[in-house]
């Protein structure tokens, strides 16, 4: 499944649905039904507000494991993502934090989601979990083995992390696309920093055929400008009251940012 097969010629605005704590995590409240209801409600707010896709992440499971999550997380996320897929008509994606791409592919494939987001697909990043290594071969071979066609959206120098050594953004992006065979690249910036359009233009020249998504630092004031360079946006914090993901999603914030992004597009 390619990016263009998913979205055609549009420049999609994807909204992030942050799950509450799942079984075994510090934030779990022992009421998985409540987590499901919130996940479905938030997905509907995003889709009704004009988002072209919904990305489901287990954001409430901090502190995250470095790579492989437990079977209880895989089981819970499969149930929850299935409910989100049934609730909205837009494509749904999955990210299993911190970096369990194989679990994400498994969840997405069974739940009939359409894509996964992988924080570290190639290379090595220094994170609060320690060294996180990209496992592109395992991810793609597993996808093939189970007969799945979910698209892989790979972060390039994901935020809350630093590259190991002198690996430049352009080289990581090129490796992720040409050698890691990612279907799209997600370019992020550190929290509270504006997206760097200069870097996006460098990547556009270096790998002109790669779909590029702005994955952080997006707000209503810069959304249209970003789409002059990027092929789409992934929005999380900006859809919440005061930009705080712990607070509820606000329908008007969703609609306002999506309208701003598509204005003149």
> Of the given ranges (30-34, 108-112, 158-162), which has the lowest mean pLDDT?
158-162
Average pLDDT, the chain: 90
Confidence of residue 119 (pLDDT cuts 50, 70, 90): very high
Q: Which residues contact 220 (CB under 8 A, 6 or more apart)?
A: 238, 253, 256, 257, 260
Instruction: Look at residue 136 and tell me whether its pLDDT is greater than 60.
Output: yes
**pLDDT greater than 60 at residue 193:** no
Could you report the per-residue pLDDT of 163-189, keeping only the tens digit for each?
766 668 888 899 999 999 999 999 986
Q: What are phi and psi of 209, to 5 degrees?
A: -90, -10
Which pLDDT belongs to residue 237? 85
Token pair listed for 197: 């359009």
63 or 217, greater pLDDT: 63
Alpha helix locations (H) across the chain? Answer: 3-7, 32-48, 71-87, 101-111, 136-145, 169-174, 197-206, 223-226, 251-262
Domain ranges of the chain: 3-262
* Angstrom distances, CA of residue 185 to CA of 120, 129, 256: 11, 23, 25
Average of pLDDT values for 74-85? 98
User: What pLDDT score was predicted for residue 219?
Assistant: 86
pLDDT value, residue 7: 95
Give 90-131 as a DSSP string.
S-EEEE-TTT-HHHHHHHHHHHT--EEEES-SSSEEEETTEE
* 198 Cβ contact partners less than 8 Å away, ≥ 6 residues apart: none
Higher pLDDT, 40 or 217: 40
Q: What is the mean pLDDT of residues 127-142?
A: 90
Q: What percent of the chain has pLDDT over 70?
A: 94
CA 254, chain centre distance (Å): 17
Say what the pLDDT of residue 165 is: 62
| CA-to-CA dists, residue 30 to 5, 44, 248, angstroms | 39, 24, 21
Instruction: Tell me which of 2-6, 13-17, 234-238 is least confident.
Output: 234-238
**What's the whole-number mean pLDDT along residues 29-58?**
95
Under 8 Å CB-to-CB from 214, ≥6 apart: which residues? 186, 187, 195, 200, 226, 230, 232, 233, 234
Instruction: Please tell me the least confidently modeled range out of 59-73, 134-148, 153-167.
Output: 153-167
Query: Per-residue pLDDT for 85 more than 70?
Result: yes
**DSSP state, residue 183:** S
Question: What is the arithmetic mean of pLDDT over 229-253?
Answer: 86
Query: Is 70's pLDDT higher than 70?
Result: yes
Could you tell me if 66 and 22 are in contact, meaning their C-beta atoms sit under 8 angstroms apart? no
pLDDT at 51: 97
pLDDT of residue 158: 75
pLDDT at 117 over 80: yes
In this structure, which topology does domain 3-262 adopt according to CATH? Answer: TIM Barrel (3.20.20)
User: What is the rounded distance in angstroms from the CA atom of residue 17 to the CA atom of residue 59?
Assistant: 9
């Amino acid at each position: 499944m390619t990016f263009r097969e998913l979205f055609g010629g549009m420049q999609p605005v994807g909204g992030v649905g942050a799950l509450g704590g799942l079984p075994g995590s510090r934030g779990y409240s022992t009421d998985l039904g409540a987590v499901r209801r919130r996940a479905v409600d938030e997905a509907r707010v995003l889709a009704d507000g004009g988002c072209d896709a919904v990305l489901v992440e287990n954001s409430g499971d901090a502190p995250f494991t470095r790579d492989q999550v437990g079977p209880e997380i895989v089981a819970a996320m499969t149930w929850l993502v299935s409910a989100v897929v049934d609730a909205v008509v837009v494509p749904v994606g999955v990210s299993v934090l911190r970096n369990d791409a194989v679990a994400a592919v498994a969840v997405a494939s069974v739940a009939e989601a359409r894509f996964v987001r992988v924080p570290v697909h190639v290379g090595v990043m220094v994170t609060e979990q320690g060294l996180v290594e990209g496992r592109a071969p395992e991810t793609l071979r597993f996808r093939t083995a189970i007969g799945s066609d979910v698209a892989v959206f790979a972060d390039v120098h994901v935020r809350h992390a630093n590259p190991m050594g002198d690996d430049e953004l352009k080289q990581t992006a090129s490796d992720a696309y040409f050698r890691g065979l990612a279907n799209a690249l997600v370019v992020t910036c550190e929290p509270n920093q504006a997206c760097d359009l200069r870097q996006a233009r460098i990547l556009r020249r270096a790998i002109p055929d790669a779909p590029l998504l702005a994955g952080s630092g997006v707000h209503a004031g810069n959304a249209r400008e970003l789409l002059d360079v990027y092929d789409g946006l992934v929005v999380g914090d900006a859809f919440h009251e005061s930009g705080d993901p712990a607070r509820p999603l606000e329908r008007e914030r969703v609609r306002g940012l999506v309208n701003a992004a598509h204005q003149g597009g």
